[in-house]
Amino acid sequence: MLKAESTSAPSGGAGLQSNASACACSRADRHGAEIRAALLTDLDALVALERHFPGDRLSRTSLRRLLHRASAEVWVYEAAGCVAGDAVLLYRRNSAQARLYSLVVHPRYQGRGIARALLKHAERAAALRGRGCLSLEVRATNAPALRLYQKAGFNLVRQIAGYYEDHAPALRLEKPIAGAM
């Protein structure tokens, strides 16, 4: 499980009915899957994805709040009507940086490039909001996630002791994204 600890509409429009075929601005991949803004109707699927992560899970309440925040975007990777992964981006007012708050791929769908696709989408979304840098925190022992982020050009900024609820350290990674569109 990977987790960081476009012209598509951000998830701030939650509450609308999910209709992937009506999402004209989504980016479909070569297998008919798409990355689209999460909707309130995706909440159960988002919560289910969180259950596969070993710790520091986002609660249903937190996910619902993120779906409604103008300073957050929640994107889902949908394949054959199934939400196979998600990415949560956070933005601060007057900041040149976006934060990849969470990136999760269901274990059944890992190894298919979904995390990489969500990461690229997050970079484009942040660039569209005028951000020049994407940051994230990742568990220091999460080797698959670290490989993904290193291959994508992220650089280690610092280690943060006791970051996670089990007091494990996190690594803060950043990547310049100017021109990422």
Structure tokens at 106: 């269901």
Active-site residues, by number, are 137, 149
The region that residue 173 occupies, defined by phi over 0 for left and psi between -120 and 50 for alpha, beta otherwise, is: beta
Query: Which tens digit of pLDDT belongs to each residue from 86-111?
Result: 999 999 999 999 999 999 999 999 99
**pLDDT tens across 14-41, in order?**
333 333 322 223 344 445 789 999 999 9
Per-residue pLDDT, averaged over 166-173, amounts to 94
User: DSSP per residue over 116-157, as a string?
Assistant: HHHHHHHHHHHHHTT-SEEEEEEETT-HHHHHHHHHTT-EEE
Q: Write down all domains in the chain, each with its CATH number in brackets.
A: 11-132 (3.40.630.30)
- Is the pLDDT at 141 greater than 50, yes or no? yes
